[in-house]
Amino acid sequence: MKVQTLAFLLLIPVFSSCFISRRTANEPLQEKRMETLQTGTSTAADVAATLGAPNEVVQLGKRMAWRYDFTNAKTAGFTILILTFINEDARADRAWLFFDENSVLQYAGSTLEAKHAGYAMPWQDIHD
């Protein structure tokens, strides 16, 4: 019995592993570029030249809204024998830009959190 237990304990490092991965979607939003856009003066053409094509265009009658987003997800895990523990932290940059009927920027709102995504083992809380 002791030999079997010892053999089992010696095999645990052979059948265990750690891993990390990173996944992104779209291009990161750059705050410096967004700051160059001026409400009341920048046009949809200016926004497209500065930020590129939006991920989504929403028609609001004669007005429109453009959505830009970027997602950054980092995953860390630990496997021992047949049991795997995983922790994923996915954060996003998102910006909405609203244009009037003349395609002039009226309002821009954004949340830029993607750069804060972090790796953590399953038993760690990265939001502390």
Residue 127 lies in a domain: no
Query: Which residue's entry shows tokens 């410096």?
Result: 32
Is residue 8 assigned to a domain? Answer: yes
Q: Write down the pLDDT at residue 121.
A: 80
Q: How far apart are CA 4 and CA 53, in angstroms?
A: 62
CB 108 within 8 A of CB 34: yes
Domain residues for the domain of 101 are 2-116
Residue 23 lies in a domain: yes
Cβ-contact 51, 33 below 8 angstroms? yes
More confident call, 43 vs 86: 43
Candidates 110, 96, 98; CA nearest to 31 is: 110
Q: Quote the strand ranges of 1-128, DSSP E.
A: 16-25, 56-60, 63-80, 83-99, 105-112
Confidence band, pLDDT 50/70/90 cuts, at residue 2: confident
Instruction: Take residue 46 and report the two structure tokens written for it.
Output: 């200016």
Which region among 20-29, 62-71, 96-105 has the lowest average model confidence (pLDDT)? 20-29
Question: What CA–CA distance (Å, rounded) separates 64 from 44?
Answer: 10
Asked, for residue 69, whether it belongs to a domain, the answer is yes
Indicate the pTM of the whole model: 0.74
- pLDDT, tens only, 46-86: 999 999 999 999 999 999 999 999 999 999 998 887 788 88
Within a domain: 75: yes
- pLDDT for res 57: 96
pLDDT at 26 over 80: yes
For the chain, the domain total comes to 1
Percent above pLDDT 70 for the chain: 88
**Helices and strands (H and E) in the chain: how many:** 3, 5
In a domain, 21, yes or no: yes
